[in-house]
Amino acid sequence: MTAAGIGALAWETEGFNVVTVNGARQLDIARRPRSLPDVPLMDQDGQLFSLADYKGDPVFVDFIYTRCPTICRPMGDQFQHVLQWQDSHPEQKVKLVSISFDLENDGREALRRYGDRYGARAPQWRIAAPLEQSGLDALRRAFGLIVIPDGTGGFIHNGDVYLIDARGRLTRAFDPDAAPPVFISALTGIRS
């Protein structure tokens, strides 16, 4: 009985490497980088683009909604720190993209206000939203994004920061409380 329990625990934790479902998803992304759908996005300046436009440079992506009173604020602070690091390391070509999943409330003006709060400026840091629900759905599936209405007009959502490599593949997912130096150190060796 004990051996069966240990075996089940080992299977559920990816050989004792993870202890949460989120950790298992992060490990799966790291082991098997994913191609991403080519979804049109509009940024805070009204410019159309897609994540595929960034091939050749690494991109950090997070998912937010601009009215978020909790996790999105520290995520914005993290990206602000990465942007400041980028300013002092211009040889590093990392880009940042924050994608809203609240298509009903996050129009261009809301995206701009969110970006202004953190000093975001395109093209280094774009605050964007998909043009259509089908595009958002495709991104949610590709990134493993979970979004649940909280019953008060907001959302509960996972807050990972994702790394897309220079080939346009989703290669890493970081916990939302990882410090910006963790993201920056991940840039080593991802340009291939």
pLDDT at residue 127, as a whole number:
98
The mean pLDDT value for 175-185 works out to 69
pLDDT at residue 188, as a whole number:
53
Domain spans of the chain, in order of start? 1-32, 35-185
Distance CA 88, CA 122 (A): 17
Q: Is the domain defined by 35-185 classed in CATH 3.40.30.10? A: yes
pLDDT at residue 181, as a whole number:
63
Lookup: tokens for 75: 């995520």
pLDDT at residue 26, as a whole number:
82
6 compared with 156, residue with greater pLDDT: 156
Lookup: tokens for 169: 């593949």
Evaluate the CA torsion angle 38, 25, 72, 157 in order and state its sign. Answer: positive
52 torsion bin: left (phi>0), alpha (psi -120 to 50), beta (else): alpha
| Tens-place pLDDT, residues 83-128 | 888 888 877 778 999 999 999 999 999 999 999 999 998 889 999 9
pLDDT at residue 94, as a whole number:
83
The count of other CB atoms within 10 Å of the CB of residue 90 is 7
> In the predicted model, is pLDDT for residue 14 greater than 50?
no
Distance CA 78, CA 82 (A): 6
The mean pLDDT value for 72-78 works out to 90
Q: Average pLDDT, whole number, for the chain?
A: 84
pLDDT at residue 191, as a whole number:
41
Q: Look up residue 3 and give its amino acid.
A: A
The mean pLDDT value for 41-70 works out to 94
Determine which of 1-5, 105-109, 160-164 has the lowest per-residue pLDDT on average: 1-5
What's the DSSP call for residue 70? S
Report the predicted TM-score, pTM, of the whole model to 2 decimal places: 0.84
